[in-house]
A and B are shown apart, each in its own frame.
Chain A
Amino acid sequence: SQQGEEDPQALSIQEGENATMNCSYKTSINNLQWYRQNSGRGLVHLILIRSNEREKHSGRLRVTLDTSKKSSSLLITASRAADTASYFCATDVHSFSSGSARQLTFGSGTQLTVLP
């Protein structure tokens, strides 16, 4: 299985509600990033949290990181229809295919649908 796995795979909420997505990973990391992908578009970086940080905020986004549990969560508060997208976590891992350099590995994403 992949290094980073998001949960749930799909989430449907009403506009104004909060949305929480989780990411679990297996090996130690230096940082964890969250990206958003609107349908048919490229990924857009949302936030980066370092392994020595526990919580980070950016506008309506709140990210937490628990290195003891190897997990992270992304909270979107007061969701809007425009937040409808897929959300991916990405972790930096050692990769033998890249000569043991660290590279970003993406999970399979959470599809968030915000209903108006």
Chain B
Amino acid sequence: NAGVTQTPKFRVLKTGQSMTLLCAQDMNHEYMYWYRQDPGMGLRLIHYSVGEGTTAKGEVPDGYNVSRLKKQNFLLGLESAAPSQTSVYFCASSYGMTYEQFFGPGTRLTVL
């Protein structure tokens, strides 16, 4: 089992550009999450999904959109990147909202 994988691992964008981060899990988890981690801080929840076709806002959703067309995939989109979105993005999945979460390796995004 690969667990949770994220694509790409690194990306540099210019302000105003768009991109999509892909997360895939092979554990048949219903719940999937996107977090961002900034230096010296814990993880902050951006968006999450409780099942295929559903998404919901987390703590810091502004500037991001998500889609969950297939149970195993959760996409995070940035329509118009801003320097404030420079961060490390982690995807995670779990059986339930407050169960153990399994994390991907992260995507380091820099917006110039």
**Residues of A in contact with B (beta carbons under 8 Å apart):** 2, 4, 30-31, 33, 40-45, 48, 88, 92, 95, 97-99, 101-109
Contact = CB atoms under 8 A, between A and B. Distances in A.
Given A4-B42, A31-B98, A48-B100, 10 more contacts: A42-B90, A42-B104, A43-B103, A92-B97, A97-B57, A98-B56, A98-B57, A102-B97, A103-B58, A104-B101
Interface of B: 4, 35, 40-45, 48, 56-59, 61, 90, 92, 97-98, 100-106
A44 B48 contact: no
A112 B47 CA distance: 29
A11 B32 CA distance: 32
A102 to B, nearest CB: 5
Contacts of A92: 97-98
Contacts of B105: 41-42
Contacts of A42: 4, 90, 92, 103-106
13 contacts: A2-B42, A40-B106, A42-B90, A43-B43, A43-B92, A43-B103, A92-B97, A95-B58, A98-B45, A99-B56, A102-B98, A103-B98, A106-B43
Contacts of A33: 100
Contacts of A40: 106
B83 to A, nearest CB: 22
Contacts of A43: 43, 90, 92, 101, 103
B59 A95 contact: yes
B76 to A, nearest CB: 15
A2 B57 CA distance: 18
Contacts of A4: 42
A107 B40 CA distance: 10
B10 to A, nearest CB: 11
B106 A106 contact: no
7 tightest A-B CB contacts, nearest first: A42-B103, A106-B42, A92-B98, A106-B43, A45-B100, A43-B103, A108-B42
